[in-house]
Amino acid sequence: MIEGKLVNLRALEEEDLELLKKWRNLDFVRKTTREYRLLDTINQKKWFETIHNNSPPREIMFGITNKNNKLIGVTGLTYIDWKNKNSEISIYIAKKNWQKTVEAKNTIHLILQYGFNELNIHRLWVEIYEIAKENIELFSKMKFKKEGVLRDKVWRDGKWWNSQIYSILKTEYSNE
């Protein structure tokens, strides 16, 4: 377990999958993720098996729990490039406007510490669809720098949306 001030990160368990599927199928979560289809139990089990059977791992995922050990979300590192020492951060908390919570900030601090200090990753990045303005605000506040824009990347809510790439380097990160 990785302990934070407000949240902890723990290994995901098979019994978490039904709840994770429910959360991923929430409209406010799904429209900001790459997966546009509704997820089913088969999808969830395949994903779970993939994250546990890759060597070296391309994804390392955690359940986010509050201090009462209640699962409130998921975070992790995806698209891990071990040679070039960079990875994408994945995060969602099953609560509307989760980006404005102190739990979200604490979770991001924990995953940054894990990536930079435990795995010796050099660059951590996020891809954010512009439909998710709250995510852009959150990662900007967390000192991520905007690297670029992928124009008309996703079709959501009847229109095209750009995608923005934000990153932070190990040398730019402070544990404070």
The answer regarding whether domain 2-124 maps to CATH 3.40.630.30 reads: yes
Residue 20: helix, strand or coil by DSSP? helix
Instruction: For residue 47, give every residue at least 6 positions away whose Cβ sits within 8 Å of its Cβ, in sequence order, or none.
Output: none
From 108, 83, 89, select the one nearest 98 (Cα to Cα): 108
Extents of the domains making up the chain: 2-124
Contact (Cβ atoms closer than 8 angstroms) between residue 128 and residue 91: no
pTM of the model as a whole: 0.90
Asked if the model's pLDDT at residue 176 lies above 70, the reply is no
C-alpha–C-alpha distance, residues 21 and 44, integer Å: 7
61-87 pLDDT, tens per residue? 999 999 999 999 999 999 999 999 999
- Closest of 118, 110, 96, 31 to residue 63, by C-alpha: 110
Indicate if the pLDDT at residue 133 is higher than 80.
yes
Q: Mean pLDDT across the chain, nearest whole number?
A: 91
pLDDT at residue number 33:
79
